[in-house]
């Protein structure tokens, strides 16, 4: 099966207002910043109004985190946000300088200056409002606007906040929505969204158009290309998003409402599965001999959630004897010790006997709206896994997704097996330009 080509985004009449976001690998050094500046100026010279959101250069955010660690093992989160937000301020200012040298006026703004208002939770603040007055004024003056991504200001404390790792994507979509932009372009180091990670599946194909809900499932289940909250935001506000590479001029992947995605002409088959996602960094916990009565599962899960840990893929075994059961779930690998400690501390009050754990499991998910109307998808998936000699430990599903938890060492081969089984393999090897897909 191959995908057809998509028509480029077509705007009826007048100028287009666009928000472009450039990730860290697109602005990693002085040369890259000048290259991106050129690209932004080209968009402007085509007659468009351009607002740019930029990430910190290369690995700056990680380097700042390391630096903080060396100064103070447990820095206050308020100060950490002051530090981390500086990364995006640097790239925003540098990008504005490079644009000014190309004969256009660019003005850089911090998140706070750009009107990004957030909750007060440092390191993981949510955008609650955008008051883009200064951006509107600058655009009205004919300037190019550069906004430091990943940051805002708390409405209640007036402190600088950051929005969580990878959240410049979310800044971009939120601004596109607030500015009523025609669309939002997210530039990274890959050509778009692929049917699987091209680093794992050489025959992975670029997807020309994908439904918001499919992209949400992929992002929530390990696809790194877009920040999950960015996709949620785009879906809620119906912002068309174009994910593309800053290293080429090729059209990328459009995220749209499912109803706006053109079906193939009749007679041609639409793919049942749109993509395969993987997440290797998971651990599995089983809580044994949990009393089988109402409220016990809630207590177990509350204990883990109370330690600030995200729980996924929960299953409860049918009681073997009359009075106890076992509850199994997955957590991020890095949170396993914390989860086990929290459970150990609550063991007596909950009344279970012990916990079992496995720190090296992974999850493979197949995603596609075609699943709704096609029977037998799970059977095809599980048969492909069986043929690849992959043992399934847990299964979870949504209306448009089937996930399996398996041994971490089996993840790559399971992804390849599923990709082939659903006819997604293409003949051209995908291009990976640089870095991490950020
Ligand atoms: N610089 C931040 C990070 O590395 C935000 C982003 O790049 O989106 O997480
Ligand atoms: Mg990113």
* 352 assigned ligand-binding residue: no
d(CA 168, CA 191): 18
Alpha-carbon distance of 404 to 435, in angstroms, equals 28
Closest CA to ligand 1's atom 9: 165
Give how far Cα 184 sits from Cα of 21, 170, 178, 297, Å.
8, 11, 12, 42
Print the domain residue range for 50: 17-189
Residues with Cβ within 5 Å of ion ligand 2? 166, 438
Provide the pLDDT for residue 2.
35
Domain count, the chain: 2
Q: Is the CB of 61 under 6 A from ligand 1?
A: yes
Burial class (CB in 10 A: 0-12, 13-18, 19+), 385: buried
Does the residue 331 lie in any domain? yes
Phi-psi region of 303 (alpha: psi -120 to 50; beta: other; left: phi over 0): alpha
Q: Is 167 in the pocket of ligand 1 (CB under 6 A)?
A: yes
Asked whether residue 428 is domain-assigned, the answer is no
- CA dist 265 and 262 (Å) reads 9
Please indicate, yes or no, whether residues 293 and 183 belong to a single structural domain of this protein: no
Question: Given 189, 224, 254, which residue is the final one in a domain?
Answer: 189
Pairing state between β 241-245 and 209-211? unpaired
Judge whether 23 is annotated as a binding position.
yes
438 in any annotated domain: no
Answer whether residue 25 is part of any domain.
Answer: yes
In the beta sheet, which residues pair with residue 20?
52, 185
Average pLDDT per consecutive 10 residues, the chain (438 residues; last block may be shorter): 39 76 96 97 96 98 98 96 98 98 98 98 97 97 98 97 97 98 94 94 94 96 92 96 94 93 63 94 95 91 94 84 87 96 95 95 96 93 98 95 97 98 84 49
Given a contact cutoff of 8 angstroms between Cβ atoms, the answer to whether 367 and 217 are in contact is: yes
pLDDT for 1: 33
The burial class, CB within 10 Å (0-12 / 13-18 / 19+), for 20 is buried
The domain boundary residue, chosen from 189, 215, 246: 189
For a mutational test of ligand 1's pocket, the pick from 89, 171, 438, i.e. the residue with the most ligand atoms closer than 8 A to its C-beta, is 438
**Ligand 1 centroid – CA 24 distance (Å):** 7
Cβ neighbours around 354 below 10 Å, total = 11
Question: Is 248 within the bounds of a domain?
Answer: no
Question: Which class for 123: exposed (0-12), middle (13-18), buried (19 or more C-beta within 10 A)?
Answer: middle
Q: Give the C-alpha separation, 80 to 76, whole Å.
A: 6
Same domain, 183 and 279: no
Closest C-alpha to 424, from 384, 386, 389, 390: 384
Please give the Cα distance from 149 to 27 (Å, whole number).
13
Indicate whether 180 and 304 sit together in one domain. no
Ligand 1 within 6 A of CB of 17: no
How far apart are the C-alpha atoms of 88 and 168, rounded to whole Å?
A: 9
At residue 433, the pLDDT reads: 58
**Ligand 2 centre from 168 Cα, in Å?**
7
User: Quick check: CB of 55 below 6 Å from ligand 1?
Assistant: yes
Same domain, 25 and 159: yes
Global pTM value: 0.88
21 annotated as belonging to a binding site for a ligand: yes
Kindly report the CATH number assigned to the domain that includes residue 180.
3.40.1160.10
Q: Is residue 383 part of a domain?
A: yes
C-beta 25 within 6 A of ligand 1: no
**Domain containing residue 335: CATH number:** 3.30.2130.10
User: Given ligand 1 and candidates 150, 151, 172, which is best to mutate, with the most ligand atoms within 8 Å of its CB?
Assistant: 150
- Residues 184 and 283 occupy one common structural domain: no
State how far the Cα of 216 lies from the Cα of 367, in Å rounded to an integer.
10
pLDDT value at residue 266: 54
Q: Please, are residues 368 and 400 in contact by the beta-carbon 8 Å criterion?
A: yes
Q: State whether the beta carbon of 56 lies less than 6 angstroms from ligand 1.
A: yes
The atom number, within ligand 1, closest to the CA of 165 reads 9
**Looking at the structure, do residues 301 and 415 belong to the same domain, yes or no?**
yes
- The preferred substitution site among 26, 58, 60, 61 for testing ligand 1, maximizing ligand atoms within 8 Å of CB, is 61
Span from the CA of 431 to the centroid of ligand 1 (angstroms): 23
Q: 79 lies in a domain?
A: yes
Let me know whether 312 and 180 are in one domain. no
Given a contact cutoff of 8 angstroms between Cβ atoms, the answer to whether 191 and 430 are in contact is: yes
435 is in an annotated binding site: no
194, β-bridge pairs: 206
d(CA 416, ligand 1 centre) in Å? 29
Residue 243 counted as domain residue: no
Shared-domain flag, residues 299 and 169: no
């Amino acid at each position: 099966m191959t995908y057809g080509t998509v028509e480029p985004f077509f705007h009826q009449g007048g100028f287009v207002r666009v928000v472009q976001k450039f990730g860290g690998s697109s602005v990693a050094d002085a040369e890259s910043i000048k290259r991106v500046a050129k690209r932004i100026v080209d968009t402007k010279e085509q007659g468009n109004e351009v607002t740019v959101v930029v990430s910190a250069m290369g690995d700056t955010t990680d380097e700042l985190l390391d630096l903080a660690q060396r100064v103070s093992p447990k820095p206050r989160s308020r100060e950490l946000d002051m530090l981390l937000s500086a990364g995006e301020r640097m790239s925003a200012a540098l990008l504005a300088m490079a644009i000014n040298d190309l004969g256009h006026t660019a003005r850089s703004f911090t998140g706070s200056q750009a009107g990004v208002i957030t909750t007060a939770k440092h390191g993981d603040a949510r955008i609650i409002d955008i008051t883009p007055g200064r951006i509107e004024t600058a655009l009205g003056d004919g300037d190019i606007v550069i906004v430091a991504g990943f940051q805002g200001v708390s409405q209640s404390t007036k402190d600088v906040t950051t929005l969580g790792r990878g959240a410049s994507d979310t800044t971009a979509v939120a601004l596109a929505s607030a500015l009523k932009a025609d669309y939002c372009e997210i530039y990274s180091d890959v050509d778009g969204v692929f049917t699987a990670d091209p680093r794992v599946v050489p025959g992975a194909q670029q997807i020309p158009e994908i439904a918001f809900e499919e992209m949400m499932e992929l992002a929530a289940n390990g696809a790194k290309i877009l920040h999950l909250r960015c996709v949620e935001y785009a879906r809620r506000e119906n912002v068309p998003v174009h994910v593309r590479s800053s290293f080429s001029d090729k059209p990328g992947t459009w995220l749209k409402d499912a109803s706006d995605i053109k079906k193939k002409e009749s007679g041609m088959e639409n793919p049942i599965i749109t993509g395969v996602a993987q997440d290797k960094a998971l651990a599995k916990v089983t809580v044994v001999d949990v009393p089988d009565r109402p409220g016990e599962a809630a207590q177990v899960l509350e204990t883990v959630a109370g330690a600030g840990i995200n729980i996924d893929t929960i299953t409860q075994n049918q009681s073997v004897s009359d009075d106890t059961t076992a509850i199994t779930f997955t957590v991020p690998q890095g949170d396993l010790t914390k989860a086990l400690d929290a459970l150990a501390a609550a063991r007596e009050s909950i009344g279970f006997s012990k916990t079992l754990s496995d720190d090296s499991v992974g999850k493979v998910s197949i995603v596609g709206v075609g699943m709704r109307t096609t029977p037998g998808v799970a059977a095809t998936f599980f048969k492909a896994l069986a043929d690849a000699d992959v043992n399934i430990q847990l299964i979870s599903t949504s209306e448009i997704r089937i996930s399996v938890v398996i041994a971490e060492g089996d993840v790559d081969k399971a992804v390849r097996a599923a990709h082939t089984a659903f006819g997604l393999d293409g003949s051209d090897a995908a291009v990976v330009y640089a870095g991490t897909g950020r």
